[in-house]
Structure 1
Amino acid sequence: MDNNFKLDLGTLPKEFSLLLEIIKMENEDYLRLKNNELFTNIDWEKFLKLAIHHRVYPLIYSKLKKAGENWVPSEVIKTLNLEYKKNTFQMLHLSGEMEKINKLFVENQIRLLFLKGPVVAADLYGDISLRTSKDLDILVPIPDLKRASELLLNLGYEKVKLAPFEIWKWRNHHETYIHPQKKINIEIHWGLHPRPTIEPSFNDLWERKRISSLTNYPLYFLGEMDLYFYLIAHGARHGWFRLRWLSDIDRIIRKRVDIEKSNVKKENFEQYHLGKQASLLEGQALILTSQLLNTPINEENKILTEGRRSRKLAQNALYYIREMTPLSSTSSEIGSLKFMGSLLSLKSNLQKSYFINRYLFESKSQIQRFFYILNLFYPKSADVETLVLPNYLHFLYFPLRPILWAWRKLGKQA
């Protein structure tokens, strides 16, 4: 096995490399970075686009502000400052709503764990303004789902209805609620990951929960190792196309001294988080963070970075990081974009679809691969949008799916 494996970073733009250097920058690095050739011939508009897409602009702004040097054009700093302030207000807005929801659920004897949002920002970065969040994700026991839904509806939230064939117990692990006035989205989860997967029970997670002091009313979120494996699986499922997710893993690993002091062995968590797949995805995450963000990897974990599949997945993830391409379980529907119907565009679209589906397939366990293949033949909401059929003819979506899929690839609309 090649122990000197290096990711091929040659396809990443110079602006992205500068982004990485600023994120890694500490007080003693300011002088070194000032003289870095990366600051020459930078497309600052592209730099801003990357910082905003990857959701790391709060970190970038805070680093540059501490440096106190005129390395970056003033207009770029002004834009970063504006986005930073917007995010700070957003996180404060979410924090207030998070406290309100938490108190309401507790008063109604519903246990809930916050999966992401301001509570994770405070835990990992020590400051909610240094991480972005667009919504609140909460995990509740399945028996409490109905009551939790009723509470949100009573608060003025509206449930996002699932399209036909999006059978929630099989196809999803959460449902979404939107407050039209507050402009806040809340996802109620009954599972950490899409099915089928291996994950701890709610009771196990609850036993290992942590208490956050972010709000006046105590609220609970995932234990350190539970959060670690949850964020790894989440990032891998989306191809790590946002650098923020890798930054989160970097933060957790740098705090690992606290994890290693715990009485619970890491192997016990791997067993309940994704099973054998845990080592594969953790290896991918460690390769990406160590080579992009200089994350320190201890001797125990280095073996995880030597696996052929982990290395291949890490290299493939650079495609999504570079192209800023969203990746999810429905990415096979990438053909919803219009390609003017040309054969050249069709070929390009098919290649992208193939690459995405190959990545998703290679990142899954054997049982997940079986269900993934079945899922490819199962009608999607995009099929319904492409061709509207009355309810009594919905069975036709099964034989028509290949035709509707090809129709979208051609960029046409039915």
Structure 2
Amino acid sequence: MDNNCSLDFSIIPRELRLLLEIIRTGKGDINGQFKNELFTDINWDNFLYLARHHRIYPMLYSKLKKFDGELIPIQVIQTLYHEYKKNTYQMLQLCAEMEQVSKLFTEHQIRLLFLKGPVIAADIYGDISLRTSKDLDILIPKTDLKRAEELLLNQGYERVEVQATLYEWKWSKHHVSYFHPQKKIELEIHWRLHPAPTKEPNFNELWQRKRISKLTSYPVYYLGDEDLFLFLVAHGVRHGWFRLRWLLDIDQMIRNGIINEKNNGLLKFFQQHYLGRHALILSSQLLNTPINEEMQSLTTGKRTRKQAQMAIFYIIEMGNSFSNEPFSIKLNLHKSFVLNLYQFSIRSNLQKFFYIIKLFYPSPADTEILRLPKSLQFLYFPLRPFLWVWRKTMKPI
């Protein structure tokens, strides 16, 4: 890749650097591929914490299970195996629930597309045990929301109520969550892929390009390959890639040949939308993702590189603007500024307008600091700057 697009990785901590080195090794024997200095002064507790946070421990274990060196403590390998096994059981449970929900909705004439979960783990990685999922995400037509909720409630699910202020923008919501207390399964019903106002294909267009999963005996449908790739890119960008699992999805899909001369839709997307280009830079430089010459030409430019560099900061801070260091008010404000600057920069002009307006509106986080009765919630407007500073300067409890 062009040196002009090289990112500054000097701020990446040693434990995260080691994680990346292991993840991007090939499928062959990894013994002897690492330099011993990579393992020097590693805090293994932090190493495991990062593996869990970034949700990459299944892939990590799959690469380290045959590692016979003495560089990694056996306790670390055993912990990764325990997490890997626990995730495999959870994915199998989600797979069974996915089939049941698909059958339930289909029998009641509700079309549904699975956005994440075991279905994309099998599609992208070829093995449901190599990707984590904490819940099932389903997209349905908005007109079917009421009927879908009735079906889920009859099956024992409970709607997860999110505390909201009087002035919350309900139109910006794009999903609602349900939880089954006996099965311990969370399910999200989406009527949009992304929060409004975001331009996206309508459900009928996505349905026409759907694929059928080979995981289950009863038909389970999910997004077409291009739609899934664009959905994962937009989702990762919106969240600043603060979980490397999302970037690993992009890496695997590119390695599987999702970007080629036949996929004109993807090429057109990256030509017209600069915000997706830094996903290519991050994937290629953090995970050694192979990018063809045509796509490499799209990763040049100061704006693209700057966004990718801000995303590195977002990944390191895990989307958290707080610091546990003493007297960290200035540091917390700086982190908050950089993280918000990134979130602002990835938006379209219309989205930037609403982003600025929304900064002045009360949020659920404000109510956690100061609870006011409904009759006094208008006070959240003048108090919001003070509550914001309080959140960004005080250490989390």
Q: Settle same-fold status: TM greater than 0.5.
A: yes
Supply the AA of the counterpart residue of 1:236: V
* Post-superposition CA distance 1:58-79 (Å, at most 9, x none): 1111111244555422111111
The 1:267–1:93 alpha-carbon spacing in structure 2 relative to 1, beyond 3 Å, is same
The 2-side partners of 1:107 and 1:318 are apart by: 46
The 1-side partners of 2:263 and 2:246 are apart by: 27
Q: Which moved more, 1:191-200 or 1:402-411?
A: 402-411
What's the C-alpha RMSD, in Å, of the aligned pairs? 2.6
Q: Which residue of 2 aligns with 1:356?
A: 339
Which blocks of at least 5 consecutive residues in structure 1 are unaligned? 327-333
How far apart are 1:21 and its partner, in Å? 2.0
The 1:168–1:32 alpha-carbon spacing in structure 2 relative to 1, beyond 3 Å, is same
Moved over 6 A (4+): 337-340
The 2-side partners of 1:355 and 1:338 are apart by: 14
Q: Which runs of structure 2 are paired with 1:228-243 in the superposition (5 Å)?
A: 228-243=229-244
Q: Is structure 2 residue 172 aligned with structure 1 residue 171?
A: yes
Q: Is structure 2 residue 65 aligned with structure 1 residue 65?
A: yes
Q: Which runs of structure 2 are paired with 1:213-292 in the superposition (5 Å)?
A: 213-256=214-257, 260=260, 262=262, 265-267=265-267, 270=269, 276=272, 279-292=273-286
Q: Is the contact made by 2:226 and 2:265 (CA closer than 8 Å) also made in structure 1?
A: no
The 2-side partners of 1:407 and 1:13 are apart by: 28
The 2-side partners of 1:157 and 1:168 are apart by: 26
How far apart are 1:401 and its partner, in Å? 2.0
Q: Is structure 2 residue 145 aligned with structure 1 residue 145?
A: yes
Q: Pick one of 327, 330, 341 that aligns with 1:347.
A: 330
Q: Which residue of 2 aligns with 1:330?
A: none
Q: Is structure 2 residue 10 aligned with structure 1 residue 10?
A: yes
The 1:165–1:138 alpha-carbon spacing in structure 2 relative to 1, beyond 3 Å, is farther
Supply the AA of the counterpart residue of 1:405: W
The 1:35–1:175 alpha-carbon spacing in structure 2 relative to 1, beyond 3 Å, is same
Which blocks of at least 5 consecutive residues in structure 2 are unaligned? none
The 1-side partners of 2:250 and 2:46 are apart by: 25
Q: Which moved more, 1:401-410 or 1:303-312?
A: 401-410
How far apart are 1:213 and its partner, in Å? 1.1
The 2-side partners of 1:293 and 1:280 are apart by: 20
Q: Pick one of 385, 389, 395 that aligns with 1:406.
A: 389
The 2-side partners of 1:261 and 1:314 are apart by: 25
Q: Is the contact made by 1:339 and 1:346 (CA closer than 8 Å) also made in structure 2?
A: no
How far apart are 1:181 and its partner, in Å? 2.0
Q: Is structure 2 residue 367 aligned with structure 1 residue 384?
A: yes
Higher relative contact order, structure no. (Cα contacts within 8 Å, ≥ 6 residues apart): 2
Q: Pick one of 341, 348, 355 that aligns with 1:372.
A: 355
Q: Which residue of 1 aligns with 2:287?
A: 293
The 1-side partners of 2:361 and 2:34 are apart by: 54
The 1-side partners of 2:308 and 2:41 are apart by: 29
Residue-pair matches, total: 395
Q: Percent identity at matched positions?
A: 59
How far apart are 1:167 and its partner, in Å? 4.5
The 2-side partners of 1:225 and 1:72 are apart by: 39
The 1-side partners of 2:59 and 2:185 are apart by: 23
**TM-score by structure 2 length?**
0.91
Q: Is the contact made by 1:173 and 1:195 (CA closer than 8 Å) also made in structure 2?
A: yes
